[in-house]
Structure 1
Amino acid sequence: MSTSVLPQLRIADDLLALLGAVTTEPRPDARLDALTLAVAADLPVLLWGEPGIGKTAALTQLAASLDLPLTTVIASVHEPSDFSGLPIVGDDPAADGVPMAPPDWAVRLVRAGRGLLFLDELSTAPPAVQAALLRVVLERKVGALELPAGIRIVAAANPRSSAADGWELSAPLANRFVHLPWTHDHEVVVRGLGGTWPRATLPRLDHEKLTSAVDFARRAVCGLLAGRPKLVHQMPTSETRRGGAWASPRSWEMTVRLLAFATAAGADRDVVSLLVRGAVGDGPGFELLTSMDRMDLPDPEDLLAHPAVAVLPERGDLRQAALDAVVAAVRARPARARWDAAWTLLVRAVDTGAPDLVVVPATTLATLRRDDWTVPAAIEQLAGMIAVSRTADSAADRVAAGVGR
């Protein structure tokens, strides 16, 4: 048959097939990495984003990349019984009870034994439906049916301000998710519309690191909570914030799992930050991240014992903290040899990093000198730098004062 006489709908189908033929490419994306890592950790994830931002498309691509069958359930168009099950009266309910029959989508998931359950439009589901979803998300049960371990759960929601007839997420349901903000990336959208989208891949877990990863995660979380007991449970007072990530024993347990997976996978700091804050909220999350940074700081006594060959942190904030710890150690146990060693460390810090970081530690260290301690040559090496820094600060203050007038 000539192409000129083909039915127009067949030609339209061919055109649609060409438009749907896309490829994927590896591309650094902290949000996508955080999502796949949380999926690998078998924790429910909730993607927050404006309508049309690509949440559904991202989940479709994720399922295809991970070779998982995707089951989409629009939460807002279902009744509570669609998740809790419909009662089915048998021959002898007094003896056998009344079982709760699950919906067909749950039966298909169980038969497949694996898959990605996508609960869409969660924030437009009324409170009664959200209450029914609690058991699905936490216990992985739909009616009398239990979802197998191979089923991962991801949900999506729009902020109430942009959701039609939206509801705030209930606090019990919100506390069962890892919350990830989902925004568009201009370059990703442009390349995707051109036919190439980022590829989602499961993290590569290093089997040799599993034990140490679990130990690190537990030490990090328990170390913080031991010193900050008020962080164990912090349910927000406002309804809006209760519908997001907040700290509770449940979400801290999720954080331990996420940290263990992130450590075993060698995830970068941006990914870890998204996951931690998505589990326990921004405030407790930032405190944990700061605490984790200090876990990696070198022991000030080790630095003082071998100042000439000491390895200082590369990051400026961590290097500053290490130098401050050295000065604090000398103040706590002053001795001429320790004071001299600290000056050697400050010189090494200037030689291997930003000189301005040693101004405050050097000024403080100078005040610790005893009358019978000879001024070391290291001070002469630092004196000029400190003087220049102070002159620059004074000039900046004068400029700021002039602008303020």
Structure 2
Amino acid sequence: MTLEIAADLIGLLADTTTEPRTDLQLEALTLAVAADLPVLLWGEPGIGKTAALTQLAASLDLPLTTVIASVHEPTDFSGLPVIGADPAVHGVPMAPPDWAVRLARTGRGLLFLDELSTAPPAVQAALLRLVLERRVGALTLPPGVRIVAAANPRGSAADGWELSAPLANRFVHLQWTYDHAVVVRGLGGTWPRAALPSLDPGRLTEAVAYARRGVTGLLGGRPKLVHQLPQSEAKRGGAWPSPRTWEMAVRLIAFATASGSSREVLSLLVRGVVGDGPGLELLAALDRMDLPDPEELLADPSGARFPERGDLRQAVLEGIVEAVRRDANRDRWDAAWTLLVAALDGGAPDLLVVPAQELAELRRDDWPMPAGIERLAGAVSVARLAA
């Protein structure tokens, strides 16, 4: 056997294809890259983080530059001082490394910072300007360069360190796991294909307004969520809320809205910048923004459309009852009963028990029972028995 034949065999093994495939974490990664936000992939060794980045760069036609953070010195990111002819006049410039010069010369590319959790604190400190400001020494990376990093949890990283809070707060954190079906099909020669999200030009202004309204609406009522530095060192190395990460959340919501991304992808992204608890509160706030206005429903009960999800449907019903309570009259009370009856179609009867009871308590003595309430009364009785 000659090495030339061995090379031919290796080439055949490397000859793979791609196919469109729904992959939530890959879609979330691609959307964050499109939004020009630094992404940090967390996952155990050997599950394909590096392979995913290599395939992503190939799919997006971006040159891939890999830098192993743990084997570099702080000056490799902050720049190496170079003394010129007259330092007193010209100062001492900080020379960037060759990989940064190549990226700047190309004007575009995917910078992959691998093994980030094995980088010592001094190197992590030097990475701060690179990740946030795209500065490497005296050089500023062009807008066409995107930054993605990967890290192993401290328990499975070789000589691992916890990520510093300032560095962690600059990333979109995505938990990277493997999909059994994707791995099996990929080993057979076909991997999922990444593609940049398709943004609707007609929805850009609407998407920005929606994102800002959702975040400011939540923080206006929950001021303590604006900045919450975790108590433990381990949690400080992940996603947590700060004015910086809320600004990142606004950008991600706008991109997800303009591209029509699913709620699951949006959930991965917002929890990846502000943390699980605040992220879930933000998602709930966005859901409430999409609910129909109770006053519009009371004005035209015949045209009512209720959400499919049970929690959102219940929120709409509670809003209808509360609107009648604020301004109770016979017509609004009758309209509310019509809406409750309409909510029986495609919804669980148990969701109507509490709203029906509260609406009944608002009845005045001279108001007759509305038409159609017999159907509602039967459904509520059955729901009570089932409970």
TM over 0.5: yes
**After superposition, what is the alpha-carbon deviation per residue over 1:244-285, rounded to whole angstroms, capped at 9, x for unaligned?**
011111111111111111111011100111111111111111
Of 237, 240, 261 in structure 2, the residue corresponding to residue 267 of structure 1 is 261
Aligned: 1:293 with 2:272: no
- Equivalences for residues 17-28 of structure 1 within 5 A: 17-28=11-22
* Alignment pair present for 1:277 and 2:271: yes
Structure 2 matches for 1:234-383, cutoff 5 A? 234-383=228-377
In structure 2, the partner of 1:400 is none
The corresponding residue for 1:110 is 104
What is the alpha-carbon distance in structure 2 between the residues aligned to residue 172 and residue 132 of structure 1?
A: 11
Q: Which amino acid aligns with 2:267?
A: S
Offset at residue 355 of structure 1 (A) = 2.6
Return the TM-score normalized by structure 2: 0.98
Post-superposition offset of 1:363: 2.0
The answer to whether residue 156 in structure 2 is matched with residue 162 in structure 1 is yes
Alpha-carbon shift at residue 90 of structure 1 (Å):
1.4
Is the partner of 1:234 in helix, strand or coil?
Answer: coil
Distance 1:308 1:362 in 2: 19
Q: CA RMSD in A?
A: 1.0
Contact 2:350/2:384, CA 8 A, preserved across alignment: no
Q: Deviations over 1:357-377 (max 9, x none)?
A: 212211221222222211123
SS at match of 2:126: helix
Match of 2:94 among 85, 96, 100: 100
Q: Supply the distance in 2 between the matched residues of 1:38 and 1:112 (Cα, whole angstroms).
A: 22
Q: Which residue of 1 aligns with 2:173?
A: 179
Q: Which residue of 2 aligns with 1:190?
A: 184
Q: Distance in 2 between matches of 1:28 and 1:353?
A: 29
Residue type of the alignment partner of 2:378 = G
List runs of 5+ in structure 1 lacking aligned partners.
Answer: 1-6, 394-405
Q: Is the 8 A contact 2:67 2:114 kept in 1?
A: yes
1-side partners of 2:247 and 2:383: how far apart? 46
Q: Answer whether contact 2:33 2:146 (CA < 8 A) is retained.
A: yes
Residue 387 of structure 1 aligns with which residue?
A: 381
What is the letter of the counterpart of residue 61 of structure 2? D
The answer as to 2:64 corresponding to 1:83 is no
Kindly, what percent of the aligned residue pairs are identical?
76
Aligned residue identity for 1:212: E
Does residue 129 of structure 1 match 2:115? no
Q: Which residue of 2 aligns with 1:3?
A: none
**Which residue is equivalent to 1:215?**
209
Matched residues in 2 for 1:10 and 1:125: separation?
Answer: 39
C-alpha displacement of 1:86: 1.0
Q: What is the letter of the counterpart of residue 207 of structure 1?
A: P
- With normalisation by structure 1, the TM-score equals 0.94
1:145 to 139, 144, 147: 139
Deviation at 1:315, TM superposition (A): 1.9
Give the superposition deviation at 1:309. Answer: 2.2
Specify the code of the residue in structure 1 equivalent to 2:302. A
User: What is residue 66 of structure 2 aligned with on the other side?
Assistant: 72
- Tell me which amino acid in the other structure corresponds to 2:4: R
One-letter code aligned to 2:323:
A
What number of residue pairs does the alignment pair up? Answer: 387
